[in-house]
């Protein structure tokens, strides 16, 4: 009796301890989800929260099944797979967002579709037994995993591996500080993957429950600690594609065979082509005037020139800078071309030159008198450089833009009238004469 009691106590402890661990793991996921929502502006935070939700569902379902009865598996197993199905898509999304990329809609739809299909297959397994089926071995009924289970397992492992290698590939090309970040995150992704492989292959000692969700929880805690506590990813590398697209100048990369390797949207707009379809084409097919660019590619130093692109209704003036791209041995493997549109600048320069020319032409027509003029004290004639004497008005007219209008000042008018009256009293100047100037100074118009 005592032995039976100890056996029953041991069986109870064998259920309570792992169940307690699973519920503790589920409780730990809650603050992770809350923190991820609060810090959703951090790259990958929302994907991390989705993984925490998946682990919460998985551990809760396994804990309930251990603690209560295997008979409730029809309820807990769909709940567990609802959490398991979230993890591959969430990890792949985390890897993409971590490296500054958007999650493609196709990947999102496929991931959600496989998640929903898997939950449906688990719920309806009794009718088709494609997830697992009951078999009799040595007189005992056992459950065998069937083809859809292995399909889903392959999908899950593949998604985790792709996300892990994606992180390593993107961070491995950067400086050492970024490489350490990539190694930490990739290691966090590999821990649950290896645990699951060891569990399914039965290499690990036989557990009464699947330890994979606990391994996922450990990875989540590691990633959350790196993300939120250490601020490890506050310094996030900017993807080269984003940098290329944000450059205001056109950017083209050609290889040694003058084939297009990369071009940004600015260059695509200049050449009126589709950037994706242009990759791999000969540069000459894109730019008929490419032969004028070839001299810039012959030098192993940075070269610069200005060319005109006749590729539209009006010519485009481009300032081109060619930068060689050597390999580690210094051999050029291609060239980077920076294209700056200077059409507006050249138009402003042309307009400025036109205005300067007009101003110079106008100034050339302006004649100025300066210096000492030799003038006769009696007749007021002026002597020119050829020692010729000219009347004052003639000299001024020839050496300036002035025009003359003859008339009489009041004093001369009075003097002339007196002289005319003295000579012939019958001749007087009528003050109402129409020939008299209306100008008070005696000048006629």
- Give the pairing type, strands 303-309 and 316-326: antiparallel
C-alpha pair distances (Å), 421 with each of 326, 407, 412, 416, 431: 106, 20, 14, 9, 14
Report the percent of the chain where pLDDT is more than 70: 74
d(CA 156, CA 58): 15
Q: Averaged over 171-177, what is the pLDDT?
A: 57
- Position 441 pLDDT exceeds 50: no
Tell me which of 354 and 2 has the higher pLDDT.
354
d(CA 199, CA 186): 20
59-68, 154-163, 330-339: which is most confident: 154-163
**Residue 224's closest CA among 32, 374, 40, 53?**
32
Topology adopted by domain 17-234: Rhopdopsin 7-helix transmembrane proteins (1.20.1070)
pLDDT for position 142: 63
Q: What is the tens place of the pLDDT at every residue in 289-327?
A: 788 888 888 777 888 887 777 766 777 778 888 888 887
Q: Which CATH number fits domain 240-343: 3.40.50.720, 3.40.50.2300, 3.40.50.970, 3.30.450.20?
A: 3.30.450.20
- Position 8 pLDDT exceeds 50: no
Q: Where in the sequence of the chain do the CATH 3.30.450.20 domains occur? A: 240-343
Q: Averaged over 100-121, what is the pLDDT?
A: 89
- Position 6 pLDDT exceeds 60: no
pLDDT for position 96: 85
Q: What is the mean pLDDT of the chain?
A: 75
- Position 440 pLDDT exceeds 60: no
* Residue-level length of the chain: 445
Check if the beta carbon of residue 46 is closer than 8 Å to that of residue 36.
yes
d(CA 322, CA 327): 16
pLDDT for position 115: 93
- Strand runs labelled E in 327-431: 332-341, 382-383, 389-390
pLDDT for position 417: 73
- Position 89 pLDDT exceeds 80: yes
d(CA 79, CA 119): 8
pLDDT for position 304: 82
- Position 230 pLDDT exceeds 90: no
Helices 2-38/45-67 angle, 10° precision: 160
**Residue 81's closest CA among 164, 163, 148?**
148
Check if the beta carbon of residue 44 is closer than 8 Å to that of residue 94.
yes
Q: Cα-flanking dihedrals φ and ψ of residue 174, to 5°? A: -100, -175
279: Cα within 13 Å, side-chain hemisphere: 7
Dihedral of the alpha carbons of 387, 392, 397, 402, in degrees to the nearest 10: 140
**Biggest CA pair distance of the chain:** 173
Q: Where in the sequence of the chain do the CATH 1.20.1070.10 domains occur? A: 17-234
| Segment (H or E) for 106 | helix 105-123
Q: Averaged over 418-445, what is the pLDDT?
A: 53
Tell me which of 115 and 226 has the higher pLDDT.
115
Q: Cα-flanking dihedrals φ and ψ of residue 339, to 5°? A: -115, 115
């Amino acid at each position: 009796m005592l032995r039976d009691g100890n056996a029953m106590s041991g069986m109870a402890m064998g259920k309570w301890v792992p169940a307690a661990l699973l519920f503790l793991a589920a409780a730990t996921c809650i603050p992770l989800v809350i923190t991820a929502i609060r810090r959703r502006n951090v790259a990958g935070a929302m994907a991390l929260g989705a993984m925490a939700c998946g682990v919460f569902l998985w551990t809760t379902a396994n804990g309930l099944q251990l603690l209560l009865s295997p008979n409730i598996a029809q309820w807990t197993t769909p709940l567990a797979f609802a959490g398991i199905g979230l993890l591959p898509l969430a990890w792949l999304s985390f890897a993409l967002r971590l490296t500054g990329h958007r999650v493609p809609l196709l990947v999102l739809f496929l991931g959600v579709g496989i998640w929903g299909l898997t939950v449906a297959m688990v719920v309806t397994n009794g009718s088709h037994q494609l997830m697992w089926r009951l078999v009799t071995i040595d007189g005992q009924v056992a459950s065998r995993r069937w083809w859809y289970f292995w399909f889903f397992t392959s999908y899950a492992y593949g998604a985790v591996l792709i996300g892990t290698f994606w992180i390593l590939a993107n961070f491995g090309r950067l400086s050492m500080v970024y490489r350490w970040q990539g190694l930490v995150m990739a290691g966090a992704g590999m821990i649950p993957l290896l645990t699951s492989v060891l569990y399914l292959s039965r290499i690990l000692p036989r557990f009464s429950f699947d330890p994979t969700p606990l391994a996922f929880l450990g990875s989540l805690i590691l990633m959350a600690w790196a993300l939120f506590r250490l601020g490890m990813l506050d310094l996030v590398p900017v993807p080269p594609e984003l940098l290329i697209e944000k450059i205001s100048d056109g950017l083209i990369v050609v290889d040694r065979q003058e084939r297009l390797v990369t071009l940004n949207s600015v260059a695509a707009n200049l050449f009126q082509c589709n950037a994706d379809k242009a990759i791999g084409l000969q540069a000459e097919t894109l730019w008929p005037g490419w032969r004028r660019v070839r001299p810039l590619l012959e030098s192993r130093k940075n070269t610069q020139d200005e060319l005109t692109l006749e590729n539209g209704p009006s010519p485009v003036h481009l300032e081109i800078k060619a930068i060689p791209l050597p390999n580690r041995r210094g051999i050029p493997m291609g060239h980077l071309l920076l294209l700056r549109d200077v059409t507006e600048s050249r138009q402003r320069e042309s307009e400025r030159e036109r205005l300067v020319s007009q101003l110079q032409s106008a100034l050339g027509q302006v004649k100025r008198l300066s210096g000492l003029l030799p003038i006769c004290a009696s007749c007021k004639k002026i002597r020119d450089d050829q020692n010729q004497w000219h009347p004052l008005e003639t000299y001024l007219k020839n050496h300036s833009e002035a025009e003359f209008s003859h008339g009489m000042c009041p004093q001369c008018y009075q003097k002339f009238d007196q002289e005319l009256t003295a000579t012939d009293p019958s001749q007087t100047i009528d003050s109402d004469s129409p020939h008299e100037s209306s100008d008070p100074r005696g000048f006629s118009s």
